[in-house]
Every structure is written in structure tokens, then in C-alpha cells.
Amino acid sequence: MSTLLNALNECGFVVKEIEAIKNGVNCKGYQIDNGTNIKPVIYHSPEESIEAFVARAIEIAKSPVPQIDVEKITSHEYLLDNTFVCLQKKGNEEICKRTFLDLEMYVRIGVDFADGTSGSIKVTQGILEKAGMSEDRLYEAAIQNSEKKAHVTSMAETLGMMTEELFGENLFYVATYHDKAHGAGIMAVTKILHEFCEKKGYGKIYILPSSTEEVLFIPNGYMDPESLAVMVNCVNEETVDPKLQLNPTVYLYDDNLGAVTIAFSYNKKCR
């Protein structure tokens, strides 16, 4: 990628190749030192031409970067009110994380920028120590905040169509956070699952991980979990960015037990 490095260096930017882990996937990125405390990292996808990548990188490098008040967002009070739980594949990333079945649960800090945009960053042990907060308290606060961010709608509402015409009745529900980012974390928040089941009158539901951004709720008994796992695997193989994929696993939430378990895990390639 010397073309990228040379083009950016000619614009006066200092660029460094870095290895980053995104959802358990090792990615090579290009970090631009723009003299601020937020250094953008740009990733290249195989589908993007070198010329288009260079043009995009230069545009990003020249754009104003929203600044973060590091002292504020790493304070004890801010973490209590602005963290939420997420799920990703298991990996070696050095963040505050816990095992959740065949995935890992971690915490993000929501950040609002002065220009009206928003984003989030992962909580590391360093951030936790700086805030003077225990890991248990972090997760307690993050789960409570996640309960307020939940957004569950029928697939008919999400797609703007009548799914009854396709499936006979409306049984598919899309669950995510209100900003539609990192919404698979909902699966780790028991209160959200319980309230959904109570409202719909379901004792058990299957949970299908569409991606790290959202999951699907389907009442138990509609399809067998193996068939559903095959479907998740095929969707992963054909349409989901590897950096956003979760495992091709179907999960079962039992409202009587208040717990999520693995119903079926499919590990073969879609044929």
C-alpha cells in the first residue's frame, strides 16, 4: 500500500500502518497523525480500488476531526450514565470483557461530539482504573443503561412490508439499540428479553444474531433451531461483513428460567 502512504505523505500527513482487532478479526489499518487526540484509522476492503481508497483517505485526513474531552468521558460519573453492553466474537483484544456463551460481552462508552455527531469507544482496563470503578459496577451500570436503549420492532415495521404475506403471520422481530449500533448486546440484557416475552405472551424465544448491530427474536416452535442456524450461517457467508459477523449460532431464551442458552451452533460453510 505504498501508493496510499506516499499520497498522504505528500499532503503533509504522517501515516502509520497498524494492526487492529475488530470483532475478533485482525485488520490492517492506516492511522493518520493529524495533530489531534483523535487519529483516524482507515481500512481498505478488497472491493475498493486503490485509487478510490487513496481519494477517500485524503478526504478523511483533511476533514475536521471532532474532539473528545478525555477527562470527561473517562470520569466515574460519565461511565455510570453513558456505557452500554455489546457482544462480539471471542478474541485477544485487551478490553474489559466477559464470556457470554460462545461470544464475549464488553462495554462501550457513548460519546456525543460538538458537531452533533456521536460515536462510542470500548472500555479498557486503563479507562476503568482512571475512573476508579470496579468491573462489577461498570457492568451493572452498562446493563441498566442498555435497558433504556432497547428498540424492538416487527420485521413488517422495519422493512415497511407485511411479513404475513411471506410467513403467514408476523413472527419476526428486529431487536437493536435505538441508534442501530452494537445492538446485539440486547441478547445479554435479561430485562429486555423478559419484557418482550411478557408483552407477546411467549414462554421461550429463539434469538438469531443478524450481526453485531442487531438480532432477531422468533417464538420457539416456529422453526427448528438447526434450520435457523443454517440460515444464519448462509446470511453470514453471503451478505454480512466479516467484521460485523457473530457466530452461526441460534440461542434460546427461556423466560421461566430468565436465561439464554445455545440451542444450536452451525460451524460448516454454507453450500
Q: Write out pLDDT tens, residues 93-143.
A: 889 999 999 999 999 999 877 666 778 989 999 999 999 999 999 999 999
Contacts of 135 (CB under 8 A, 6+ apart): 96, 128
Distance, CA of 98 to CA of 103 (rounded, Å): 9
What is the Cα gyration radius of the chain? 20
Cα of 91 vs its chain's centroid, Å = 14
Distance, CA of 132 to CA of 153 (rounded, Å): 38
Q: Kindly provide the b/e burial profile for residues 156-189, where b requires at least 16 CB atoms within 10 angstroms of the residue's own CB.
A: beeeeeebeeeeeeebbbbbbbeeebbbbbbbbb
Indicate if the pLDDT at residue 30 is higher than 50.
yes
Contacts of 71 (CB under 8 A, 6+ apart): none
pTM of the predicted protein model? 0.83
Strand 25-33 with 14-22, pairing: antiparallel
The confidence band for 22, taking pLDDT boundaries of 50, 70 and 90, is confident
Distance, CA of 23 to CA of 4 (rounded, Å): 25
